[in-house]
Amino acid sequence: SGVLRIASIPGDGIGREVMPEGLRVLDAASRRFGFQLQITPIEWASCDYYLQHGTMMPADWKTQLADLDALYFGAVGWPATVPDHISLWGSLLKFRREFDQYINLRPVRLFKGVPCPLVDQRGQPRQPGDIDFLVVRENTEGEYTKLGGILFEGTDRELVIQESVFTRLGTDRVLRYAFELAQRRARRHVTLATKSNGIAISMPWWDARADAMQAQFPEVSLDKQHIDILTARFVLQPNRFDVVVASNLFGDILSDLGPACTGTIGLAPSANLNPERRFPSLFEPVHGSAPDIHGRNIANPVAMIWSGALMLDFLGQRAAHDAIVQAIEQVLASGPHTPDLGGTASTTEMGEAIARLV
């Protein structure tokens, strides 16, 4: 112990531009807080690698990574040359599943200096404290499957079956994680995303599993909301949420919508966790590889840097996490800002400014 062993996997597009800023800030934190970092740079898990090797990752990817403490991941995908189902299922979704990163944790938080698209009922801008909740998403099973198929293909009778698979193990552990998290927070409230009035087998079952879990956490309140009205409430009453727990698909939706409600998905971080640390966890921006702005050194590095802070927190460096988040807060409030926030700073300048404040 003492040394944190981390793979840096930039991936594609702006992943390659924000990664150096993430590493710069990690480095600053390690010097300030006196922990050691050992970074293993990984060039695969990228579309470039795929175009050269015909596969997204080498055959021994698992042994190369399994003993590390965490994977620090940029963004993957370059649809113009490699279809998403190859690049994503061949890297990111493989990590999540084969390293059993069953929690996808995404903080949703409004910062000073980031224009919020929402106003409250009286037309007043939402204030930073108004939006501050966590989305806990099941990250390994559920609606994301290749199970099913096409019948009567190519005819008028063509029929497609798509199966979702939820296990008690997979569902209970994400529910438990959400309740444990809520128990440590001031409001102690869990919102479950459901759709039991329409999706008639799996979602009533989710409701029942959530009720059973709630019985073990009597101090935590539970609120089950259908995904349709829940998305509406993210916009109309974002202040009422504390911990929101959801299936893979519903969590995917809510963890893009939530950050959008705070101004941009460009700042949002995510943690793909194997809480027991049997396998390395993975930390990545919510944003993608953004081919449209790639190569210009203008991508906002905050999501990458904030993801690094989540990684340090997970690895026991809580103080370093807090210092990085405070540095982010300060730079968001008073600059320098990249063009997405109306500024003229480069990715590098914004990363340097945050690193200096850590």
Ligand X SMILES: CC(C)[C@H](C(=O)O)[C@@H](O)C(=O)O
List of residues contacting ligand X (CB under 6 A):
88, 197-198, 228, 252
Largest Cα–Cα separation, the chain: 66
Q: How far is the CB of 191 from a copy of itself (least distance, A)?
A: 15
Q: Quote the tokens at residue 82.
A: 């490699």
For position 215 contacting a copy of itself by CB under 8 A, the verdict is no
Which does residue 257 touch among ligand X, a copy of itself, none (CB within 5 to 8 A, set by kind)?
a copy of itself
SS3 259: helix
Provide the mask over 261-280, with x wherever binding to a copy of itself is found by CB under 8 A and - wherever it is not: x--xx---------------
Give the bridge partners for 284, in sequence order: 270
Q: How far is the CB of 231 from a copy of itself (least distance, A)?
A: 4
- Residue 75: C-alpha distances to residues 20, 45, 87, 270, 310 (Å): 13, 9, 11, 12, 17
| Residue 4 near residue 280 (C-beta atoms within 8 A) | no
| Residue 136 near residue 104 (C-beta atoms within 8 A) | yes
Q: How far is the CB of 302 from ligand X (least distance, A)?
A: 17
Give the separation between CA 105 and CA 134, rounded to whole angstroms: 7
Q: Which of 163, 211, 296, 322 binds a copy of itself (CB under 8 A)?
A: 163
Query: Edge-to-edge strands of the sheet including 269-273?
Result: 36-41, 3-11, 70-75, 281-285, 269-273, 103-109, 132-138, 243-246, 189-194, 221-226
Q: Quote the tokens at residue 198.
A: 């329409």
Considering CB under 8 A, how many residues would be counted as binding a copy of itself? 69
Report 52-111 residues binding a copy of itself (CB under 8 A): 84-85, 88-89, 93
Report 223-262 residues binding a copy of itself (CB under 8 A): 227-229, 231-233, 235-236, 248-249, 252-253, 255-257, 259-261
Piece in contact with a copy of itself (CB under 8 A), picked from 22-30, 57-65, 163-171, 269-277: 163-171
Residue 237: which residues within 8 A CB-CB, separation 6 or more?
Answer: none
| Residue 214: burial class (beta carbons within 10 Å; 0-12, 13-18, 19+) | middle
Q: How far is the CB of 232 from a copy of itself (least distance, A)?
A: 3
Residue (34 or 148) nearer to ligand X, CB: 148
Residue ranges binding a copy of itself (CB under 8 A): 84-85, 88-89, 93, 115-123, 125, 143-150, 155-169, 195-205, 227-229, 231-233, 235-236, 248-249, 252-253, 255-257, 259-261, 264-265
